[in-house]
Amino acid sequence: AAPTVAGDAAQLRQVFGNLLDNALRFTPAGGRVTVSIDADDAGHGLLVKVADTGCGIDAEHLGRVFDRFYKTDAARTRGPLARGGGLGLAICRSIVERHGGSIAIASTAGTGTTFTIRLPKTADTV
């Protein structure tokens, strides 16, 4: 069973809501969005993955997706899907780090994206 983590429920809901919203917006009809929750490999915390089979992100953008106001070309040009100011992932990272955790991204353009969040069993700072 996955461990319990201490944290601000509203803030953590914001993180997962944002990641799911992004995954759903950038995954075409017939694509898949999956969420997995488990203990991390060492058993010291929680590992949450949000994965999609959407448009993915070019490697050149991966180092900047958590920067405030940064939007990839795909995020800028997807018509009504382009809503947002480029703050969502920066806010996610800030919240996760305030909870003593980390967030990482793996993505391939045209294949999909996976966000991996690690949260400790208890948070030092919230």
Give the residue-averaged pLDDT of 20-37.
94
32 pLDDT higher than 70 = yes
**Mind listing the domains of the chain with CATH numbers?**
9-119 (3.30.565.10)
pLDDT score of 13: 96
Over the stretch 72-114, which tens digit does the pLDDT of each residue have? 555 544 545 555 556 789 999 999 999 999 999 999 999 999 9
Using pLDDT thresholds of 50, 70 and 90, give the confidence band for residue 125.
very low
Give pTM, 2 decimals: 0.82
List C-alpha distances in Å: 25 to 61, 109, 118, 125: 18, 15, 24, 32
Using pLDDT thresholds of 50, 70 and 90, give the confidence band for residue 70.
low
**Which residue did the predictor score with more confidence, 49 or 88?**
49
